[in-house]
Amino acid sequence: MNYVSIIIPFVGGLGMFIYGMQIMAQGLENAAGSKMKTLLEALTKNKFFGVLLGAFITAVIQSSSATTVMVVGFVNAGIMNLTQAMGVIMGANIGTTVTGWLVSSVEWAKFLSPGNLAPIAIMLGVIVMLTGTRRSTKDVSSIIIGFGLLFVGITTMSSAVSPLQDSEGFRNIFVTLGHNPFLGIIAGAVVTAVIQSSSASVGILQSLAAAGLVPFNAAVYIIMGQNIGTCVTAIMSSIGAKKTAKTAAVMHLLFNIIGTVLFSIVAIVFFKVIYPNAGGGVITQTEISTVHTIFNIGTTVLLFPVSDLIIKLAKKLEKEDEREVDESKVLLDDRMLETPGIALQSTVSEVVRMGNIVRATLDKSKRVMFTKDYQEILDIKEEESTVDRLCSGITDYVIKISSLSINEKEHQHVASLLQIISDIERISDYCENISEFAETLQIRKAEFSETGTAEMREMIDVCTDSYIYAIEAFAENSKEKAMKVIEKESQADDLEIRLRAEHMKRLASNQCNTDAGIVYLDALVCLERISDHSRNIAEEVLTVAV
């Protein structure tokens, strides 16, 4: 038998299958981007919503490995806790069964046979791609073309291995895997770990099943092994991450190992004791999909009630430590770039965190102008350095998102985020300037007049309120609060003109210390600029539908 003529087409078919999965997943992901952001917010509710989210995302991106890698990234970034991560991991195992059902549809829906459907799907997708002009149309074409290529790939693999039906040695390999559960599980785990996709691994198994090569019992053990092999990607991605992120990867491994052990015991009892003859029969593609689905849903149902114990065990194995997070570290992870819609939402959360740091700095600035507390002056300068580092890191991450395949609405969102990040950083700069003015007053032992102090407090309150409304408007996507920012900014402009004129009169009549007078005027400028940048943030909220 010429094995080269089998291996080359099989490898080519596998490549086309994986490429088709990726194209289809990219189109689905772009089309569902906004829904993913909404679903991410549901994570804050409970673990059950996490299961639903994990299943949905995995069904979209066609890879439980990729979903779990993103979960590791979320945990590493502090966006998701371990309880939420556990829910998504359980859901990811369910979502990964979708590809298997697509492949097996050629058996239970004859009109979907690859020979008929694949060429039609690819041609239809190409026509849509060439004639469509909108981004959403391009996404639809990607879904259709990817669907077609996936079927072409599975057909090529099945055709390539069909000569092996006459190979007694090849058949004996699978018979051995069926009789030895441990070897079957190892085989499934190794193949999945190598290609790093349980969906593709199941596709390979289904192509062999289509050629009538796989006994039922061997397929069951291989499928369970595939679920262990898919953990390798997440474990590799956790290298260099925080302890908590590594714990999430260990949770994934424990969940799948426990599920495999439980169902292996059931399978061994069934095939060895209850119904020995069942294991030797040849399995079909649809039956593989059924076993895969029952195993993943069954594992989730069984382990969901005790998932907290799995989390505790993972913490013990990883010896997780809950250390305080360095505020200057950007809590965004490249793993999340696998799904741009969620990466954007995560970036919004990080920008809000940066904005709240500046909010606290602004509160200190309100006090320090009058208390001249040296420790608070130092704190403001340190916080400004923190914001500078955050600004640089978040900006770099947003630029990475902009280079991905995202739709027009998401491109607008990216541009808006870059502007808002810049505005927040500039407000932080002005807070530092105010701390320097306070330091000048302290060094020169200068004081504002009683009237000047009252006016300065009034100006600070207006500008501070403007910024607080701006950050809340951005965090909540509230147009109502954005409009309040614009009102406050107009009030600050009028106030700055009036206070400047009245202060000049006091200076002219020697009612105010000269050193304090210069600081007063400079502080007015800084505060007015803070309100200007707050307005910029509000206008982004009003113009970009997030």
For 375-407, the pLDDT digits (tens) are 888 999 999 999 999 999 999 999 999 888 777
Pick from 207-216, 238-247, 468-477, 487-496: least confident: 238-247
Contact partners, residue 476, CB within 8 Å, separation at least 6: none
What is the pLDDT, as a whole number, of residue 165? 64
Distance CA 206, CA 196 (A): 17
Pick from 67-76, 307-316, 485-494: least confident: 67-76
Overall average pLDDT of the 478-491 stretch: 93
Contact 448, 507 (CB under 8 A): no
Enumerate the domain spans of the chain: 4-318, 339-543
What is the pLDDT, as a whole number, of residue 106? 65
Overall average pLDDT of the 235-263 stretch: 84
Instruction: Using pLDDT thresholds of 50, 70 and 90, give the confidence band for residue 255.
Output: very high
Greater confidence (233 vs 526) lies with 526
Angle formed by the axes of helices 285-303 and 198-210, to 10°?
A: 140
What is the pLDDT, as a whole number, of residue 433? 93
Overall average pLDDT of the 83-89 stretch: 87
What is the pLDDT, as a whole number, of residue 43? 57
What is the pLDDT, as a whole number, of residue 546? 45
Three-state DSSP string of 57-112: HHHHHCCHHHHHHHHHHHHHHCCCCHHHHHHHHHHHHHHCHHHHHHHHHHHHCHHH
- Give me the phi and psi of 282, to 5 degrees please: -75, 135
Burial label for 500, CB within 10 Å (0-12, 13-18, 19+), is middle
Q: In the chain, what is the straight-line distance between the N-terminal and C-terminal CA atoms, in Å?
A: 60
Distance CA 379, CA 374 (A): 9
> Which of 535, 350, 277, 534 is CA-nearest to residue 431?
534
Which residues are registered as beta bridge partners of 282?
215
Distance CA 85, CA 74 (A): 8
Maximal CA-CA distance, the chain: 108
Locate 522 and state its tokens: 């400079």
How many CA atoms within 13 Å lie on the side-chain side of 260?
26
DSSP letter for 445, please. Answer: T
Q: Quick check: 1 pLDDT over 60?
A: no
What is the pLDDT, as a whole number, of residue 115? 59
The one-letter amino acid at 170 = F
Distance CA 546, CA 194 (A): 39
pLDDT tens-digit series, residues 19-63:
887 777 677 666 665 555 555 555 546 778 888 888 887 777 666
Helices (H) and strands (E) in the chain, counts: 22, 0
What is the pLDDT, as a whole number, of residue 407? 73
> How is 204-238 classified by DSSP, letter by letter?
HHHHHHHTT--BHHHHHHHHHHHHHHTHHHHHHHT
In three-state secondary structure terms, 282 is: strand
Greater confidence (270 vs 332) lies with 270
The one-letter amino acid at 534 = S
Angle ∠(389,330,382) on CA atoms, nearest 5: 40
What is the pLDDT, as a whole number, of residue 153? 81
Greater confidence (155 vs 323) lies with 155
Contact partners, residue 200, CB within 8 Å, separation at least 6: 14, 17, 18, 21
What is the pLDDT, as a whole number, of residue 237? 67
Distance CA 268, CA 354 (A): 55
Round the average pLDDT of the chain to a whole number and report it: 82
What is the pLDDT, as a whole number, of residue 110? 58
How distant, in Å, are the alpha carbons of 128, 141, 151, 260 from that of 138?
Answer: 7, 5, 20, 40
Pick from 1-5, 288-292, 480-484: least confident: 1-5
Q: Quick check: 545 pLDDT over 50?
A: no
Pick from 29-38, 225-234, 274-283: least confident: 29-38
pLDDT tens-digit series, residues 158-188:
778 777 766 667 667 777 877 888 898 998 8
What is the pLDDT, as a whole number, of residue 469? 95
Fold for 339-543, please state it. Answer: Methane Monooxygenase Hydroxylase; Chain G, domain 1 (1.20.58)
pLDDT tens-digit series, residues 315-364:
888 765 544 455 677 778 776 787 777 788 788 888 998 999 999 999 99
pLDDT tens-digit series, residues 429-466:
999 999 998 888 888 888 888 888 898 899 999 999 99
> How is 325-367 classified by DSSP, letter by letter?
PPTTS----GGGGGSHHHHHHHHHHHHHHHHHHHHHHHHHHHH
What is the pLDDT, as a whole number, of residue 27? 73
What is the pLDDT, as a whole number, of residue 240? 63
- Give me the phi and psi of 63, to 5 degrees please: -160, 115
